Amino acid sequence: MTDQWVTFGKAGAAAVVRLTGEIDLANAPAIGREIVRHTGRAGAVLIDLTAVSFLDSAGVRLLDSLVGDLDRNGTPIRLVVGESGPARMTLQLCAFRDDLLATNLRQAAEEVNR
């Protein structure tokens, strides 16, 4: 069921998570479980939010929780949010960690592989 909102890939040693559509209270918990299941042993995690059309507080909490868990494990993470768009706007309004936001997937992959 979550495959309509989340897909997975690789970029070198990094796991790539691509989210699409609306991320909200209705689907955030299931999406979170899938992300954890697919990225548990990744050397780095890149979450591409450029195709997200709506991100509510449940989506922000999901991202905050994932970042916290990955930070504690020493796993580099970047959120790909583009130059503008709903995900970037929402995360900036919530004062999300700016050092984790990347404009594109290439930039994000370069940053986690340094």
pTM of the model: 0.95
User: What CA–CA distances, in Å, run from 68 to 6, 22, 63, 114?
Assistant: 20, 22, 9, 20
| Confidence at residue 63, expressed as pLDDT on a 0 to 100 scale | 98
Express each pLDDT in 42-93 by its tens digit.
999 999 999 999 999 999 999 999 999 999 999 999 999 999 999 999 999 9
How far apart are the C-alpha atoms of 28 and 41, rounded to whole Å?
A: 21
How far apart are the C-alpha atoms of 40 and 97, rounded to whole Å?
A: 22
